[in-house]
Structure 1
């Protein structure tokens, strides 16, 4: 089965206009997202699989190593329990 990542129902993605950065709000914790992490998580809607997310980011950020970094990033968030 192909994994279609989605934020856990207890996790909320927000943009902090004061810091001009994205935040992931999880129970009793705020995770400050750096770089394009927010852009990656916005694509985790439960409809796109990992390959589709990588393709979308590859088109948006040509030359970036999304093929290797994005799946690792998503797996790490899944281990934390923030992605389903």
Structure 2
């Protein structure tokens, strides 16, 4: 999967101190993200492809084993939720 994920227009990803987690803000509300989702979306910069994101996460979490399938599945889910676009 050499697609490049980008946040959809109107979505903003940020750390929310009051929630003590990453969130996705959009005009209709907010999505509170768990730690794994936050770590993955923190790598989405509109420049790196999915494989580069997986490689960065493997470096960040070396004891987690092979993260590829989980990261790909989450990004597909995030696309279906209309949080990101894969191009």
In the superposition, the TM-score normalised over structure 1's length comes to 0.88
The answer (yes or no) to whether the contact 1:26–1:82 under 8 Å persists in 2 is: no
> Which of the pair is proportionally richer in strand?
2
Aligned length: 84
Gaps of 5+ in 1: none
Match in the other structure for 2:19: 19
Gaps of 5+ in 2: none
* Runs of 4 or more consecutive aligned structure 1 residues displaced over 4 Å after TM superposition: none
Tell me the CA shift for residue 11 of structure 1. Answer: 0.5
Distance 1:78 1:71 in 2: 11
Match in the other structure for 2:72: 71
Q: Provide the aligned C-alpha RMSD in A.
A: 1.5
The answer (yes or no) to whether the contact 1:25–1:31 under 8 Å persists in 2 is: yes
In the superposition, the TM-score normalised over structure 2's length comes to 0.86
The answer (yes or no) to whether the contact 2:5–2:84 under 8 Å persists in 1 is: yes
Query: What does residue range 53-68 of structure 1 map to in structure 2 within 5 Å?
Result: 53-64=53-64, 65-68=66-69
